[in-house]
Amino acid sequence: MPIQAANESAMPLIEIRNLTKIYDLGEVQVAALKGVSLDIDEGEFVALIGPSGSGKSTLMNTLGCLDRPTSGSYRLAGEEVAGLGPDALARLRNRRIGFVFQNFNLLSRTTALENVEAPLLYNADCPRRERHKRAAEMLRRVGLGDRLDHRPNQLSGGQQQRVAIARALINRPPILLCDEPTGNLDTRTSREIMAFFRQLNRDDRLTVILVTHDLEVARQADRALVLIDGEILVDTTDLELAARALQRRSIAEEPVESINSSQSAKSP
Ligand SMILES: Nc1ncnc2c1ncn2[C@@H]1O[C@H](COP(=O)(O)OP(=O)(O)OP(=O)(O)O)[C@@H](O)[C@H]1O
Ligand SMILES: [Mg+2]
């Protein structure tokens, strides 16, 4: 038994080798990921940064079993995922992954409580009363115990994102994937949400992987992956190094037209 436990803890939670993703649009093929390899251990807090179009969402969707890679290997908790069909992927996703998106993706005509309960509807072992109880408890954890019956349009942006986080965590997944989770929030709310992710990471050993273009947000992670043009250029625990690499790259890559147009937009 101890030997098995040691092996399990030595194995990375996420193990990716030479992952590629090519979107085939008939005439053109877009290589969104060009051979990405990386390991992420349980309990890590990782920021994924890179210019627009560099493949961040593609990588997140692959990690989250929403999309299948064109080639390469993806082992999630030791299980090879890359060749699985849609049903097997959906089961894995339900069990292991929570998602948080920039635009919250809540059901608009539905209360906070019902939104958070939704993933439990697929869980036959969870009767109605238990669903209510768990969803209400999760909403209390995100500080919305007094907003159970509010619909999304009756909540602030930060509150809506909290509902989305509660929904992402209701099945107790070990991994939380967030694609620009603070992109629609003001600075103060963004800090609150990041502090909450930090707390979940620390107290529950939740593995958090988040895409952001905001370097202040990225700096709160323990490790940064800098993705440029479908490849990981930098993988570091030195967040300042990652920020500098991205800034240098962004300045070098900014097309002359866009610099000109932003200047002309400001001129009278
Ligand atoms: N469904 C798709 N079909 C075809 N091409 C796609 C598709 N999704 C993404 N791409 C292309 O793949 C590349 C990577 O896109 P992706 O959305 O992963 O970038 P991103 O880093 O998330 O960008 P952003 O910061 O703007 O969200 C881009 O060139 C994009 O045009
Ligand atoms: Mg994206």
User: Cα–Cα distance between 190 and 196 in angstroms, integer?
Assistant: 10
| CA 101–ligand 2 middle distance (angstroms) | 10
Best residue for ligand 1 mutational test, from 21, 23, 101 (most atoms within 8 Å of Cβ)? 23
Residue minimizing CA distance to atom 16 of ligand 1? 55
Amino acid letter, 73: S
Residue linked to tokens 């958090």: 208
SS3 labels along the chain: CHHHHHHHHHCCCEEEEEEEEEEEECCEEEEEEEEEEEEECCCCEEEEECCCCCCHHHHHHHHCCCCCCCEEEEEECCEECCCCCHHHHHHHHHHHEEEEECCCCCCCCCCHHHHHHHHHHHCCCCCHHHHHHHHHHHHHHCCCCCCCCCCHHHCCHHHHHHHHHHHHHCCCCCEEEEECCCCCCCHHHHHHHHHHHHHHHHHHCCEEEEECCCHHHHCCCCEEEEEECCEEEEEECCHHHHHHHHHHHHHHHCCHHHHHHHHHHHCC
Whether 23 shows a pLDDT value over 90: the answer reads yes
Q: Is 87 exposed, middle or buried (0-12, 13-18, 19+ CB in 10 A)?
A: exposed
CB 20 within 8 A of CB 35: yes
Q: What is the pTM of this model?
A: 0.89
> CB 59: neighbour CB atoms within 10 A?
29
Ligand minimally distant from the alpha carbon of residue 67 = 1
| CA 179–ligand 2 middle distance (angstroms) | 7
Ligand minimally distant from the alpha carbon of residue 227 = 1
> CB 170: neighbour CB atoms within 10 A?
23
Residue linked to tokens 């490849």: 231
Report yes or no on 12 lying in a domain: no
Report yes or no on 195 lying in a domain: yes
Report yes or no on 30 lying in a domain: no
The predicted structure's pLDDT at residue 127: 85
Give which of 207, 198, 212, 176 is closest to 57, Cα–Cα: 212
Six token digits for residue 189: 């709310």
Report yes or no on 182 lying in a domain: yes
CB 17 within 8 A of CB 181: no
Six token digits for residue 118: 């939704």
Question: What are the pocket residues of ligand 1 if the criterion is a CB atom closer than 6 Å to any ligand atom?
Answer: 23, 25, 30, 32, 50, 52-58
Residue minimizing CA distance to atom 4 of ligand 1? 23
| CA 254–ligand 1 middle distance (angstroms) | 18
Report yes or no on 36 lying in a domain: no
The predicted structure's pLDDT at residue 248: 85
Pick the atom of ligand 1 nearest to 230's CA.
14
The predicted structure's pLDDT at residue 4: 46
Report yes or no on 5 lying in a domain: no
Best residue for ligand 1 mutational test, from 22, 25, 27, 30 (most atoms within 8 Å of Cβ)? 30
CB 249 within 8 A of CB 243: no
CB 168 within 8 A of CB 98: yes
Report yes or no on 120 lying in a domain: yes
pLDDT digits (tens, 9 = 90+) for 168-200: 999 999 999 999 999 999 999 999 999 999 999
Give which of 176, 237, 168 is closest to 43, Cα–Cα: 176
Report yes or no on 24 lying in a domain: no
Residue minimizing CA distance to atom 31 of ligand 1? 53
| CA 231–ligand 1 middle distance (angstroms) | 13
Whether 210 shows a pLDDT value over 70: the answer reads yes
Pick the atom of ligand 1 nearest to 180's CA.
27
Q: Looking at the 3D structure of the chain, how many domains does it have?
A: 1
pLDDT digits (tens, 9 = 90+) for 28-82: 999 999 999 999 999 999 999 999 999 999 999 999 999 999 999 999 999 999 8
CATH number at residue 98: 3.40.50.300
Average pLDDT over the chain, rounded to an integer: 89
Pick the atom of ligand 1 nearest to 213's CA.
25
pLDDT digits (tens, 9 = 90+) for 217-248: 999 999 999 999 999 999 999 999 999 998 88
CB 79 within 8 A of CB 97: no
| CA 56–ligand 2 middle distance (angstroms) | 6
Residue minimizing CA distance to atom 19 of ligand 1? 53
Residue minimizing CA distance to atom 7 of ligand 1? 23
Once rounded to an integer, what is the mean pLDDT over residues 104-127? Answer: 91
Ligand minimally distant from the alpha carbon of residue 56 = 1
* Boundaries of domain holding 107: 45-66+88-266
